[in-house]
Structure 1
Amino acid sequence: MKDDARACPGLDPGTAALAAARRLLGGVRAAFDAGTLALGRQCLSNGRLDGRKLDQQQVASFELAWAGADLLASETALAAVADDAPAIEGALALLFAADAVASVLDKLETVYLEAGLDLAALRQLRAGTDWDLLRAAGSGARALEAAGRAVAASDGELGPVALDEQHALAQDAFRRFAADVVAPQAEAIHRHDRTVPESLLQPLREMGVFGLAIPERFGGSSPNDREDTLLMVVVTEALSEGSLAAAGSLITRPEILSRALMAGGTEAQKASWLPRLAAGDPLCAIAITEPDYGSDVAGLALRGTKVEGGWRLTGAKTWCTFAGKAGVLMVVTRTHPDRSLGHKGLSLLLVEKPSFDTHEFSVEQEGGGRLTGRAIPTIGYRGMHSFDLSFEDFFVPDANVVGGEAGLGQGFYLTMAGMVGGRMQTAARACGVMRAALRAAIRYGHDRKVFGSPLVDFPLTQAKLARMGARLAACRRLAYRVAGLIDAGQGRMEASLVKLLACRSAEMVTREALQLHGGMGYAEETPVSRYFVDARVLSIFEGAEETLALKVVARGLMERALGLAGAGA
């Protein structure tokens, strides 16, 4: 470790503790793999995972998914600690690993009990000297105080990842934009429930934000021969630090729609839509969720009826973010009348509409079709607004069916093509919000005097800051690592894991940041109150925590352990 430990006595964890942590994680990984395999076998029927049996094991599956996320983040954090790394990086990696291992072992007990495995292997891991050494070096009182002092001196610059010149320049530019342009407007947008103004949208158009997932040949900034998920993560994290709702989330919708078009759109549709989406004109929204069907995409019921030249849409959508301001909606529509087809009867239709700044709108067509929208009042995540939508015989031309005739019935698959990027983008949003909250807590801790001393000088404050910093650093490292995997054509499972972990972590970090502010943290005029209510939505959208854990992560982990087709999807 570098000698920055001299500035914070007790900070340097030492090579012995790091070695012990890595050995212990190896044992925990083996125990995790054994539990995953055994639970997967409990859910098999005729050589395949059985949906009914999986549902019977929801509690254990949920614990398995969370254990997988904590374990992967711990492994990634420790792997990033090199011999010449600053001491704070090693200290935070050990702290996160100590807390994560305790949590993983607790969760694996549930898995082992349901899978019929002996708990002796888990007890042995807790009884070993490596566990004792990790707990003392990572989460002992002296270690927490030293790490907390170091975090307080860092201004939130934790979990650094080496970036090339292009990505480093983008990070710097968007951090400055977030601080200078977004943050000064964020409070008014939140407190007065305003729509994101053109004073933010236009400069972001000029900076190319809406074309991050679109290839250069279509006017975007992504390379023509590969994806650049890392750039999207860098930009999203920076903007989210200024405001989740007014800046950091603007990228998600064009990300999903552009990926769907790239995956299944006709060449004419790509040529027509992608350059306009990259320019942010029109802005777009994604209409998937329905009043009776949240994450159950296969049950969606909004009906598209074939008529001459196109389709008539009838039904309702809800939680359609930015639907008012958007000029085009990507609407997941049931185009086949046979409901028993489930997700195979869905298609994507592009619904064009005027842009509205208001909280309610109505669009009437000459042929009698009607589309109405009403913003849903929310505790946070204001600015973009999520809408209830009602379609009444609303006409959409055949040209706006993504993929044309060949795209009919492909709506589920095309939507999923955009969700990996959406999950990564959401993890990056969570990291940005965490960084904003931690920096606010550090500043307040230095300024606030309690019983004659700065708040930041108290051991409990230092322990809180240490854990907040450790969680931010672990999530950032994992998000950046997974971005690289995705750009290499891998990482679908890991994208779900980092989304799961980072979003819950944002709730924890913003909660502690607000708590450290005391009464002022509960005041709307204090930014940390906005970070707290904004962070709460992260575990709900882009795959609700429960559905993501059960239907994607746990199932994927079991498929991978069993060697079944579809593993890691």
Structure 2
Amino acid sequence: MRDMNNALQRPLADASSVLARLRSLFDAGVQVLARHCLENGRLSARRLDEVQVASFEMAWAGAELLAAETAIAALTPASDPLDAQLALVFTVDAVVSLLDRLDAMLAETGEDPAAVDALRAAPEWRALRRAAGGAEALQAAGRGVIEAQGLVGDIALDEAHALAQDAFRRFAAEVVAPQAEAIHRHDLTVPESLLQPMREMGVFGLAIPERFGGSAPDDREDTLLMVVVTEALSEGSLAAAGSLITRPEILTRALIAGGTDGQKAHWLPRLAAGEPLCAIAMTEPDCGSDLAACQLKGTRVDGGWLLNGAKTWCTFAGKAGVLMVVARTDPDRSLGHKGLSVLLADKPSVDTHQFEVKQDGGGTLTGRAIPTIGYRGMHSFDLSFQDYFVPDAHVVGGEAGLGKGFYYTLAGMVGGRMQTSARACGVMRAALRAAVRYSQDRQVFGAPLADFALTQAKLARMGARLAACRRLAYTVAGIVDGGHGRMEASLVKLLACRSAELVTREALQLHGGMGYAEETPVSRYFVDARVLSIFEGAEETLALKVVARSLMERALGIAPAGA
């Protein structure tokens, strides 16, 4: 091991040098683009829209750079040589991408790309690319991934988190995975044979403080536990297990941020027990990710509110017993996001793909599951509310909560994005392990597929991407627990979700024709992974409205919008 580490010392030093130069170039590029968007001392929405292409590249560059820096910084003399190899493989691929993205950023503002060109020609970059990105290095890393059976990117955990990881990985392998194929292929609703054991394991109370019956500490958050459990469950099935935690997480955060004492005491213990299950009704047919533009109307009546309008992509709305509905409770539409409130709408839980609820007073709620290529089991619904009554007691925050629904909803978005990153890591881990197994078993031209150079290179890049995303997700979880990390959570979501598409695509490709067969789990990993870049903030909206804007505000030293 000492000899291996000595062989890697020079590439690691080159990687640190190249990344430091890239960080300087990136920060300067952000400064230039930010100044270009200034108007009267603030970032101009009009000017930001004019540079969307460059801003999108900037957001991705920020994600790739932070992931590479985090991967290299985590290495120590005691690190496993394979961890170092994979960190270097990822860094080389990230730098190749980053140089092109920096060019795009500079071209938008007419800046001289000489500094980027100089880095392309820098001896340390040339040496790093040969040493860690060449065929010999990729094959060696790929053989390491095969020897490890795809179990790469391990991160040291304390005893409590390690025990949770082990327990949920066993549950995912022994209980979730055997049911996952039938749920996907027959488009079933997640059955009680999965839900009840997860209730008993406390899955739905991970974000809920212990004093309310959950498992989170009373005095702080434990995002790391959420990441550990979500990743483990997602390895068994994204739709049938890994995504079940997100909805109670978002509603829990909203209640903690703005709920009255009575609402917390009533709802949080029930949510922790998984009775009722919940769903989040935010997205509307004409609004997409623009939550501030939602139009579902809440009209005040004696004792409560009548909801009228439509929601879409409301995941798990059928099985849920309560819907967290973001509604416009102030008729003045010019208020934008300040006219929104969060209301909790009760409904019966059903297993069917469509439902209709009729209230005694005449209100109705209808739902229809949207057929999808993947992510089956929880089902996303179109919803229609017609004079659907919600009592005053179910307005989050009560009278004081009116108009604050946008902020209460955002309180859960950081956790939701961290969970989505963990989901992506779980799917990648499952896909990589499947690809390794198949490549060893499959004979092609008289030899195992795993013996071919290109297979080894593919597996190296897949393993490197998984390891980098895992490291970044676990690191950002700690930042979030410190009360920060809104942008970093968005960065890791961007990277991990797109990476899940790439890794599952390559895993399917390595399976050849069998990868395209529904009977092969890797086909499910592929179609499931595709949704990750869309929900919890579509990557375009996340890159432009959260990441790019936050990077510019930091560069200029100005307070975030709405602060």
TM-score range, shorter chain: over 0.9
- Structure-2 residue corresponding to 1:234: 228
Superposition map of 1:153-552 within 5 A: 153-552=147-546
For the residue of structure 2 that corresponds to 1:395, the secondary structure is strand
Shift of 1:190: 0.1
- Structure-2 residue corresponding to 1:15: 9
- Structure-1 residue corresponding to 2:131: 137
For the residue of structure 2 that corresponds to 1:367, the secondary structure is coil
* CA gap 1:332/1:13 in 2 versus in 1, 3 angstroms: farther
Normalised TM-score (structure 1): 0.98
Structure 1 vs Structure 2 CA RMSD = 1.1
| Partner residue of 2:101 out of 89, 104, 107 | 107
> Which amino acid in the other structure matches residue 545 of structure 1?
E
CA distance in 1 between counterparts of 2:182 and 2:562 reads 42
CA contact (8 A) 1:557 1:568 kept: no
CA distance in 2 between counterparts of 1:246 and 1:443 reads 23
CA contact (8 A) 1:12 1:87 kept: no
Q: Deviation per CA, 1:191-240, whole angstroms, max 9, x where unpaired?
A: 00000000000000000000000000000000000000000000000000
Q: Deviation per CA, 1:343-382, whole angstroms, max 9, x where unpaired?
A: 1000000000000000000000111100000000000000
For the residue of structure 1 that corresponds to 2:299, the secondary structure is strand
Between the aligned residues of both structures, percent identity stands at 76
For the residue of structure 2 that corresponds to 1:317, the secondary structure is strand
* CA gap 1:568/1:154 in 2 versus in 1, 3 angstroms: farther
Shift of 1:159: 1.4
Shift of 1:514: 0.0
Shift of 1:152: 0.6
CA distance in 2 between counterparts of 1:259 and 1:2 reads 47
CA contact (8 A) 1:13 1:87 kept: no
- Structure-2 residue corresponding to 1:8: none
CA distance in 2 between counterparts of 1:156 and 1:262 reads 39
Shift of 1:527: 0.1
Shift of 1:118: 1.1
CA distance in 1 between counterparts of 2:50 and 2:512 reads 43
Q: Deviation per CA, 1:478-530, whole angstroms, max 9, x where unpaired?
A: 00000011111121111000000000000000000000000000000000000
Normalised TM-score (structure 2): 0.99
CA distance in 2 between counterparts of 1:534 and 1:339 reads 37
> Which amino acid in the other structure matches residue 438 of structure 2?
Y
Whether 1:83 and 2:73 are equivalent positions in the alignment is no
CA distance in 2 between counterparts of 1:62 and 1:166 reads 39
- Structure-2 residue corresponding to 1:118: 112
* CA gap 1:408/1:308 in 2 versus in 1, 3 angstroms: same
CA distance in 1 between counterparts of 2:11 and 2:305 reads 64
CA distance in 1 between counterparts of 2:176 and 2:109 reads 50
For the residue of structure 2 that corresponds to 1:393, the secondary structure is strand
CA contact (8 A) 1:13 1:90 kept: no
CA distance in 2 between counterparts of 1:129 and 1:512 reads 32
Q: Deviation per CA, 1:4-37, whole angstroms, max 9, x where unpaired?
A: x5xxxxx975201100110010000000000001
Q: After the TM superposition, which of the residue ranges 13-22 and 472-481 deviates more from structure 2?
A: 13-22
CA contact (8 A) 1:310 1:398 kept: yes
Shift of 1:413: 0.3
CA contact (8 A) 1:2 1:85 kept: no
CA contact (8 A) 1:496 1:553 kept: yes
Shift of 1:116: 2.6
CA contact (8 A) 1:556 1:568 kept: no
For the residue of structure 1 that corresponds to 2:383, the secondary structure is strand
Aligned residues: 563
CA distance in 2 between counterparts of 1:350 and 1:12 reads 59
Superposition map of 1:17-32 within 5 A: 17-32=11-26
